[in-house]
Amino acid sequence: MVCPRCGRASAARRAGRHQCPYCGFLIDLSRARVIASGDYKAVREAVVKYNEGLR
Ligand SMILES: [Zn+2]
C-alpha cells in the first residue's frame, strides 16, 4: 500500500494496521491505496517498482 504521509509504497502482510517503514506513520489498511495484492513476492516487486517510479 501507499503511505499517505510520505507517498512511498510498502508491503503489509496482515490486515488491520500497518506502520510505514519509511516515516513510521500508522496506515489504516481500509483507507490506504493498495497497489498490489495476493502473493507476497509479487507485492514486494510492485512496491520496489512503485518506489523507483517516484524518483
Ligand atoms: Zn510513510
CB atoms within 10 A of CB 5: 13
What is the C-alpha to C-alpha distance for residues 54 and 13, in angstroms, rounded to an integer?
A: 23
Q: Please give the pLDDT value at position 53.
A: 94
Q: Which residues surround ligand 1, an ion (CB under 5 A)?
A: 3, 5-6, 20, 22-23, 25
Q: Please give the pLDDT value at position 55.
A: 78
Nearest to 26 by CA among 44, 3, 1, 51: 3
Asked if the model's pLDDT at residue 40 lies above 90, the reply is: no
Break the chain into its structural domains and give their ranges: 1-55
Mean pLDDT of 21-45: 90
Tell me the sheet residues that pair with 28.
Answer: 17
Q: Please give the pLDDT value at position 20.
A: 93
Integer angstrom CA distances of residue 36 from 11, 25: 9, 20
Query: Ligand 1 centre and the CA of 33: distance in Å?
Result: 12
Task: State if pTM tops 0.85.
Answer: no
Local structure of residue 9 (DSSP, 8 states) = B
User: Greater confidence, 37 or 20?
Assistant: 20
